[in-house]
């Protein structure tokens, strides 16, 4: 059993294979051809052993992510999409971490200062 994950080495290997399959569209600079890819078949083959070996259901956010990714793969496959996935990912990743593209944090509602409150706090050295 892998102590940090609480799963067996066999389950860890299955999860690793699934992650590698989902990463295929991002491996190269060429467009990924969803119409001829074998990702869905590969994941389908891993599904039964993954379900048999799990200790419990994954958290709800994982289900939502899995449904979205599965839907994207199926839609792209149905449409015969050829997508520059790596290029898109690198652009999005770069813009996400670029400081000028990050949105300003918003103050929680009701956090407005009452008139004169800031001045009173500053006089007390806070």
Give 28-73 pLDDT, tens digit per residue. 999 999 888 788 788 888 888 888 888 777 778 877 887 888 888 8
Question: Per-residue pLDDT tens for 1-25?
Answer: 455 656 788 888 888 998 888 889 9
- DSSP string computed for 53-119: H-SSPPPHHHHHHHHHHHHHHHHHHHHT-EE-HHHHHHHHHHHHH-GGGSPPPPPPTT-PPPTTHHH
CA angle 28, 83, 94 (to 5 degrees): 65
Q: What is the pTM of this model?
A: 0.60
Q: Three-state DSSP class for 30?
A: coil
């Amino acid at each position: 059993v892998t102590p940090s994950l609480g799963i067996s080495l066999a389950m860890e290997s299955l999860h690793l294979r699934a992650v590698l399959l989902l990463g295929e569209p991002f491996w190269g600079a060429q467009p990924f051809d969803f119409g001829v890819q074998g990702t869905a078949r590969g994941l389908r083959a891993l599904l039964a052993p993954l379900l048999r070996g799990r200790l419990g259901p994954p958290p709800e956010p994982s289900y939502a992510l899995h449904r979205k990714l599965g839907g994207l793969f199926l839609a792209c496959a149905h449409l015969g999409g050829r997508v520059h996935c790596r290029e898109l990912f690198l652009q999005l990743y770069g813009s996400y971490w670029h400081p000028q593209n990050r949105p300003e944090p918003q103050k929680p509602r009701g956090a407005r200062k009452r008139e004169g409150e800031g001045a009173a706090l500053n006089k007390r050295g806070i």
